[in-house]
Chains A and B, each alone.
Chain A
Amino acid sequence: MSEKKINLKLKIWRQSAPNTVGSFVDYSVSVSPEASFLEMLDELNNNLEKNNQDPIVFESDCREGICGTCGLVINGEPHGPLPKIATCQLHMRNFKDGQTIWVEPFRAKAFPVIKDLAVDRSAFDKVIQAGGYISVNTGGVPDANSIPISKDIASEAFDSAACIGCGACVAACKNGSAMLFVGAKVTQFSLLPQGQPERQSRVEAMVAKMDELGFGSCSNTYACEAECPKGISVKNIAKLNREYRLAKIKSKNVEA
């Protein structure tokens, strides 16, 4: 079967180690329009390895848009030009024959480059460890539906819980702010009964950790919402602002 291939010129960010100076390297590829963006990079890496060259480092895991591991800035947009998909769901048919594609890592002070296109996003894990959980006593499995939650509230919480923690919001933000991510997590818990006991301490701790790790302040450009692969709304940031303000007024924690 003869398949029509498209030729593309790639300009890919190469950086050998965290604190070294990187630069763009040009590559030419001929690829099936049916290939995904990551498959295109896999093919390129196979060829590089055949020629004893250092393959391009990039992250991926599930390759079906749910794990949040892959994340590249493609032609200036986190996860590429299409809305509401992760990099792994972007296919080469969306590019024109002969097009030049710039591939860069996510940029933010809190997401330092490890190598090439891979960045260290453990800052997100640290924010979650600061309060993005509920404390429960271990014991028997509770009955399903033992805590009544209306369908509307459950759906709203799920909209926020759809965040896959990929970091595209931080990469899209000119301020390197993690408000959409933290907003989604805080909103999800604050809507559900299970999240109530730690509601105030959670938002205080998560925001304090977010600030400590060097994420920026939100200036409401809403670029995060536009680039989010899961379409998380900036209403989550509004909710975070409100939760944080009320927690600061009401909580008994004078140290935080």
Chain B
Amino acid sequence: MSFVPDFFGQALNGLSYGVLLFLLSVGLTLIFGMLDVVNLAHGSFYMLGAYAGLATIAATGNYWLAMLVAPLAVGAIGALLERACLRPLYGRSPLDQVLLTFGFIYLFEDLVKWIWGGRIRSIPPPEAFSGSVQFLGATVPSYRLFVIVFGLVMAVALWLLIERTRLGAIIRAGVFDAEMTAGVGVNIDLVFTGVFAFGAALGGLSGVIAGPIQSASPPMGAGILIPALIVVVVGGLGSLKGSLVGSLIIGQAETFGKAWLPGASMVIIYVIMALVVLLRPQGLFGRALK
């Protein structure tokens, strides 16, 4: 394979992976920014999304319906988790919340294993994107192009939602200072639940989208969590822009690492993170640490 097509093929792979990481990490970063919760179960939302999608496709054969059902189902699970389990912990040390979500990783993983079995399941891409296209000499599955475009559209939509709407203003205010936001008459409890559910839904959405690329298995949640956390650390906690830039960097670094530096590929993203923490501890777009 010659250099240019190879390069573009890898870059597109990296971009589609980066877009998935973005959808996942944006929920993580918003939940952290607002609720001060490092949600270790966020990878589980990704896994739950993939399986909810699988179940929907098995029942209806319709991939697009799965893309709708999965985020709704996972969002509802997220809302329930926040209301029932996280809420009582807000007054306590942040460790308690981290540990609680850690417990849920086991719960969710085993529940899924119980219902669907432990083997790896693949999700077929939708009919319209099951082929591949030639792009600058590289053969690219058209589903990957769909994922890239969809992810970028989602990024713009999220940016508009958060920067240009009243709801977004409330979320930004809550991330900045939740107490003060409540003080000016916003029902902050509702916003907390809403943001958590929204983040969970985005995690579920990324899971169902990832299905045709990476296939589904119960441990996929614990596996994807680490790259998503690295994205958040690199981009800066609580920052939408940081989440996007971080995802694109990590997505490319991991993909090119695998192709060009197979010996060191899995270590590269950690080196990037260590450098960012050393040189700019608050992350590329994070607010300065208190």
> Do A and B assemble together?
no
Q: Which residues of A contact B (CB under 8 A)?
A: none
